[in-house]
Amino acid sequence: MQEQDSTATAAEPPQTDIYCEHLKKCLMNICRVIQNTNDILCNISHPSVCSEVLLSSRGTDYISEVLEVYRISKRIEGGMRALRVSDDSLWLMLRDIELLWNNLQAFLSLCPYVLQRLPPLSFPVCKSDSRLSDSIQCLQRCCGVCLLGERQDEAGSRDGMLMYRENLYHITCANFWINCVDLNLPVLHCPKICSLCVPEEIQAAQDPTKDI
Ligand SMILES: [Zn+2]
Ligand SMILES: [Zn+2]
């Protein structure tokens, strides 16, 4: 991060702190979900019973949901690269998630059929956006959960986004948040120094639907 004008931003926490605290919460819960699934499968003593559980339609649906949660961690990774987040603890958490996922895949390899039925494991390729300044990305143009900008997600058409109360979210990110983290979707505000956010009063004045 570039040094910011301390007089103008004294009351605002640095933007990286806002990002990091939020991402930590996301990654902790992603870890928990994948860990729980590993624990459940680990506690099934017979591989044949494990296969049976995985092959049931509920089992397959459950694994598909866990896969979606894992995909969010890959989007977060893309967002972290775009935001140039250097917090070591976050990168360590991503590594833990990767290890947990590898472990889970070992269970899934018992059931090639389940692996075949899972949606393809494609991940967003993070594109850098020349319109963004070096160190600041506007939070209002990112998914409110994974913080990946809508234009940075090449797989965006597959992972649809929705607008809720003027904030953007990937549908799968919003589902994850509501089911695994909190009933209220997160709303992160840019610090006042963000020049990309259009102040609300200007937005309202420009809104052509306002008087309809
Ligand atoms: Zn902004
Ligand atoms: Zn997202």
Instruction: Answer yes or no: are the C-beta atoms of 81 and 75 closer than 8 Å.
Output: no
Please tell me the distance between residue 198's alpha carbon and the centre of ligand 1 in angstroms: 8
Residue 100 pLDDT: 96
Is 18 part of any domain?
A: yes
The verdict on residue 174 lying in a domain is yes
207, part of any domain: no
Distance (Å) from CA 194 to ligand 1 centroid:
5
Expressed in angstroms and rounded, the spacing between residue 10 Cα and the centre of ligand 2 is 30
User: What local confidence, expressed as pLDDT, does residue 3 receive?
Assistant: 47
| Ligand nearest to C-alpha 159 | 2
DSSP annotation of 142 reads B
pLDDT of residue 49: 86
Q: Is residue 6 part of a domain?
A: no
How confident is the model over 72-96, as pLDDT tens digits? 999 999 888 877 888 999 999 999 9
- State whether ipTM is beyond 0.90: yes
Indicate whether 209 belongs to any domain: no
5 CA distance to ligand 1 centroid (A)?
A: 17
Name the residue with tokens 């809104």. Answer: 207
Residue 114 domain flag: yes
Q: What would the two tokens of residue 41 be?
A: 């499968």
Distance (Å) from CA 144 to ligand 2 centroid? 7
103 three-class SS: helix
- CA 133 / ligand 1 centre spacing (Å): 11
Highest mean pLDDT (candidates 6-10, 90-94, 149-153): 90-94
* Dist. CA 133 → ligand 2 center (Å): 21
Among 27-31, 106-110, 156-160, the range with the most confident prediction by mean pLDDT is 27-31
Q: Please answer whether residues 142 and 178 qualify as being in contact, where contact means their C-beta atoms are separated by less than 8 angstroms.
A: no
Contacts of 84 (CB under 8 A, 6+ apart): 1, 135
Q: Which ligand is nearest to the CA of 160?
A: 2
| Nearby residues of 57 by Cβ (< 8 Å), 6 or more positions away | none
Contact call for residues 110 and 51 (beta carbons, < 8 A): yes
**Total number of domains constituting the chain:** 1
In a domain, 202, yes or no: no
Determine the structural domain holding residue 125 and report its residue range. Answer: 14-197
- Is the pLDDT assigned to residue 61 strictly greater than 60? yes
Which one is predicted more confidently, 134 or 47? 47
Quick one: which ligand is closest to 149's CA? 2
Q: Is pLDDT at 150 greater than 70 in this prediction?
A: no
Tokens of 109: 């390899």
Amino acid identity for residue 7 in this structure: T
Distance between CA atoms of 5 and 76, rounded to whole angstroms? 28
pLDDT in tens, 158-208: 468 888 888 889 999 999 999 999 999 999 887 666 777 766 555 555 555
Of the candidates 85, 77, 80, 126, which has an alpha carbon nearest to the alpha carbon of residue 1? 85
Q: Is position 208 within any domain?
A: no
User: What's the 29 CA to ligand 1 centre distance in angstroms?
Assistant: 26
